[in-house]
Amino acid sequence: MEEKIKELLVEILNIDLSSIDEATSMDNTASWDSMNHLNICFSLEQEFGISLEVDEMESMISFYDIIRVVEKKM
Amino acid sequence: MTNRHNEVRRAFLHALQSHQVHEAIGLARLLFEENAPLRECMFIRKCIEKNIGEANAFPVVRVALLSSFSLEFIHDALIAVGFLSGLCVRIYQPGFAQFRQEILNPASGMYAFHPDVTILAVEGKHIAPDLYKNYLDRSEQELEAIKQEVASEINSLIEIFRKNIEGTLLIHNFAAPEFPELGILDGQLKKGQIQIIGELNSSLYQLAQQQGVFIVNYQSLVNRFGYTQWFDKKLEYYAQAPVAQLMLPNLASEYAKYFRALKGLSKKCLVVDLDNTLWGGIVGEDGPNGIKLNHQYPGSAFIEFQEAIFALYKRGIILAIASKNNPEDVDEVFESHPNMLLKKDHFASMEINWNPKSESIKKIAKGLNISLEHMVFVDDNPVECEQVREALPTVSVIHLGKQPEHFVNLLSKEGLFDTISFSLEDRSRSQLYKQRAQSEELKNSSASLEDFYRNLKMSVCFMPINEESLVRAAQLTQKTNQFNLTTIRYTEVDIAERMRDSNWVLRTVQVKDRYGDNGIVGLVMTKKEKEQLSIDTFLLSCRVIGRTIETAMLAFILKIAKTENFHSVVGKIIPTQKNVPARDFYRQHNFKLVEGSESGWSTWQYAVGKDLIPYPDWFAIAENDS
């Protein structure tokens, strides 16, 4: 699952796979803007067949947070 | 992602990098059909931008998106879908709910962008909230007044838009509320909510009776996919983006139908397979009486598919057959099967043999003088589809599969044959192509070319463009590729404007011959510039090329130049991939090269003297000035 999420982030944010770690977040990644944040949410929903609540969408602001939320939903 | 999917992605990227764009389009179509379309759209867009960037040879469509809600998320889909159609889409998107300001302010970013197409995507509840939300607070008279107010606002937006700009305007109609306030009773009322939105939509269609304004049938799109799928409430509240992400490619595809039509990319010819496509079973094995074509499933589904193809024929799409079969078997089906709706006469060309289908399609294209990229091929067999896709990447291939009940949907959903105009000529086009094939035969039997021309008994009529021929004239500029000296595309609005300008001389060319009336097949647009008459547009439909009609058209222009005392006639050749047949035209007619090179743009001049190029004497000419 983590690999899949990384793949998504690479694609959407145009960043290197090797640069992603738990601390990768909206704050330290320039391309992770609000528009791309929604793109990440849509892709996660489609990829994992889940439906995210607005609170969850708002809390997923780092790679670590994403894993935490997706794990909980599955 | 599956391995297969990764492979297709890699192949797509490779095709892009090696500039095999048509292969890339084919692979992008596969990606698009197979997987989560949104991610693919993003992937396709990024690959295009990285690998071909601005430097691709595709026609550019400049699109301004004016909306009452957040529509930014459609950009990837719009660019990807444009690419699938062979178009390069550039987008202008102001903040949402800016649509009024953008239209009203002549200095707005939208006007500065010079869009080819402006899309007004407004949700009913944003422009007419009272019809959606406070319905029960309103009297019948108030509802009527609100409806008229909205229609007149849109009307004035259209008028202001038209004053400022020439491009095409697409306006969404309105989807009625999913749950009317009075529920099941809504239908009983004189002014129910559904009813009143319907009336508002009707008045939109009336407004669109003007040139260059088209209604996008948003209500029917929503219906096709269903309210529950189309709208995403969470996104609506969270991001002011009510259309569900998964639906955006469908909306983009709907827009792309208009883009293709505007850029002359509408398909013109449908090539069909026979066994398990027009009927169930294999005629060579099951016999003409054993094929499934009757009123029980699956025969009934094949009849329905034939009906859909027949409707294409009636709207002017040329039909052809590429089938691996014995011609005698096929003849017998056509002649004796009681349920064959399609007759031999409906097909302009039939290739029934055991050659590869790509060869058959090439032969059809040559015989009918249609370029491959205007052809669509349908077959139930994946191997045949793949063979054609690989050998002829510019042909659109639709793989029908095994369930005939889906065939009509597969053929229709992309709107590949859609055009933005429909003229009298369209109705009889298939017949005309058949005539053309017949006159090719005559060409073979005539002793000399001159005899052939005489035998054709052609008459040519030059007429100023008028209200009736305006649609056809614009259509000719949009669709003619081969014999087109400058390939300038005009909309009806563009031409109407030139009709009012006395410096322009605009003539349609109508040709009749012993086989029938070909209708309006040519167009000349010339402009008076001081002492010279300048040829802006000179084109002739490919079905009548090679009959010296072009010489007659030039003779006509020279005659005007002489009568009106111009010193010279000048014309340009703007080379495109397609207009090879037209490149030597001026040279062949003794024009002198004044500027430019043999391969690039060139300007040619003809001094108007005593001896002018005469009309070839095999024509009967009519010049009609009224």
Neighbours of B13 (CB within 10 A): 17
Residues of B in contact with A10 (CB under 8 A): none
Of A8, A46, A54, the CB nearest to B238: A54
Q: Is B506 helix (H, G, I), strand (E, B) or coil?
A: strand
Nearest Cα neighbor of B33 from B398, B384, B408, B383 is B398
Torsion region of B105: left, alpha or beta (phi above 0 gives left; psi -120 to 50 gives alpha) = beta
Question: Could you tell me which residues are beta bridge partners of residue B117?
Answer: B63, B168
| SS3 annotation, B38-77 | HHHHHHHHHHHHHHCHHHCCCCEEEEEEEECCCCHHHHHH
For residue A25, give how far its alpha carbon lies from the nearest alpha carbon of chain B (Å).
Answer: 21
Distance (Å, whole) CA B544 – CA B547: 6
Q: What is the pLDDT along chain A (74 residues), one digit of tens a residue?
A: 889 999 999 989 999 999 999 899 999 999 999 889 998 998 899 889 899 998 999 999 999 999 999 999 88
Predicted confidence (pLDDT) per residue in B473-513, tens digit: 999 998 888 899 999 999 999 999 999 999 999 999 999 88
pLDDT band at B443 (very low <50, low <70, confident <90, very high): low
Residue B43 pLDDT > 80: yes
Task: Give the residue from A7, A44, A46, A53 with the most B CB atoms within 10 Å of its CB, the best one to mutate.
Answer: A46
* Residues of chain A contacting B234 with CB distance shorter than 8 Å: 54
Q: How many CB atoms lie within 10 A of CB A5?
A: 19
Question: Which residue out of B6, B42, B47 would a mutagenesis test of the A interface target, given it has the greatest number of A Cβ atoms within 10 Å?
Answer: B42
For residues B117 and B62, the answer to whether their CB atoms sit within 8 Å is: yes
Mean pLDDT of B433-447: 63
Residue B386 burial by Cβ neighbours in a 10 Å radius (0-12, 13-18, 19+): middle
Residues of A in contact with B235 (CB under 8 A): 38
Mutation for A interface: B245, B246, B247, B248, most A CBs within 10 A: B245
Q: Do B42 and A11 count as a contact with CB atoms less than 8 A apart?
A: yes
CA of B47: which chain A residue's CA is closest? Answer: A11
Instruction: Report pLDDT for B267.
Output: 94
Question: Which residues on chain A are in Cβ contact (under 8 Å) with B77?
Answer: none
- Tens-digit pLDDT profile for residues B616-625: 988 988 887 6
For residue B1, pLDDT over 60 is answered with no
Which residues in chain A are contacts of B245 at CB distance < 8 A?
42, 46
pLDDT digits (tens, 9 = 90+) for B84-130: 988 999 999 998 788 999 999 999 999 999 999 999 999 999 999 99
At B523, which helix (H) or strand (E)? Answer: strand B516-529
Contact criterion met (CB < 8 Å) for A39 and B238: no
Type of residue found at B388:
V
> CB-based contact (8 Å) between B36 and chain A?
yes
A7 touches chain B (CB under 8 A): yes
Residue B442: per-residue pLDDT? 62
Contact: B245, A7; criterion CB under 8 Å: no
Q: Which of A14, A35, A57 is closest, CB to CB, to B72?
A: A35
Chain A residues within an 8 Å CB radius of B39: 8, 11, 43, 46-47
Residues B161-188: tens digit of each pLDDT: 998 998 899 999 999 999 999 999 999 9
DSSP letter string, B397-445: EEE--S-GGGHHHHHHTT-TT--S---HHHHTHHHHHHHHHHHHHHHHH
Higher pLDDT, B36 or B594: B594
Q: Which two tokens stand for residue B100?
A: 């009024």
pLDDT, tens digit, 9 for 90 and up, residues B536-593: 999 998 778 778 899 999 999 999 999 999 999 999 999 988 788 788 899 989 999 9
> Between chain A and chain B, how many beta carbons pairs sit less than 8 Å apart?
31
Chain A residue closest to B50 (CA)?
Answer: A14
Q: By the CB < 8 Å criterion, does A30 face chain B?
A: no
User: Which one of A7, A38, A46 has the shortest CB-CB distance to B36?
Assistant: A46
Q: Is B376 exposed, middle or buried (0-12, 13-18, 19+ CB in 10 A)?
A: buried
* B324-345 pLDDT per residue, tens: 998 999 999 999 999 999 999 9
* pLDDT at B315 exceeding the cut of 70: yes
% of chain B beyond a pLDDT of 70 = 94
The reply to whether residue B42 touches residue A39, judged by beta carbons under 8 angstroms, is: yes
Average pLDDT, chain B: 89
At B288, the amino acid letter reads P
Please give, rounded to a whole number of angstroms, the shortest distance from the CA of A21 to a CA of chain B.
Answer: 22
Q: Report residue B134's pLDDT band, with 50, 70 and 90 as the boundaries.
A: confident
CB under 8 Å to A11, separation ≥6 — which residues? Answer: A43, B39, B42, B43, B46
Give yes or no for residue B626 having a pLDDT over 50: no
Asked if A65 has any chain B CB less than 8 Å from its own CB, the reply is no
B607 vs B609: CA distance, rounded Å: 6
pLDDT tens-digit map of B229-264: 999 999 898 888 999 988 999 999 999 999 998 888
pLDDT at B27: 87
E strand residue ranges, B128-247: 168-172, 213-216
The residue of B5, B34, B39, B43 whose CB has the most chain A CBs within 10 angstroms, and thus the best one to mutate to test that interface, is B39
Considering only CA atoms, which of B37, B153, B203, B254 is closest in space to residue A42? Answer: B37
CA distance A22 to chain B (A): 23
Tokens of residue B39, six digits: 């991610």
CB distance from A50 to chain B under 8 Å?
A: no
Residue B268 has pLDDT above 80, yes or no: yes
- The better pLDDT of the pair B27, B176 is held by B176
Nearest to A43 among B39, B46, B234 (CB): B39
Q: Annotate B541-588 with DSSP letters as a single string.
A: -GGGTTSSHHHHHHHHHHHHHHHTT-SEEEEEE---SS-GGGTTHHHH
pLDDT score, position B438: 66
Confidence tier at B37 by pLDDT (50, 70, 90): confident
Helix (H, G, I), strand (E, B) or coil at A4: helix
Q: How near does any CA of chain B get to the CA of A67, in Å?
A: 19
ipTM: 0.84
Q: Which helix (H) or strand (E) holds B127?
A: helix B124-127
Residues 6+ apart with CB under 8 A from B280: B291, B292, B293, B298, B299, B302, B404
Residues in chain B, total: 626
Contact call for B38 and A42, based on CB within 8 A: yes
The alpha carbon of residue B39 is apart from the nearest alpha carbon of chain A, in Å, by 7
Residue ranges of B 212-241 with Cβ closer than 8 A to chain A: 234-235, 237-239
Minimum Cα–Cα distance from A52: chain B residue: B234
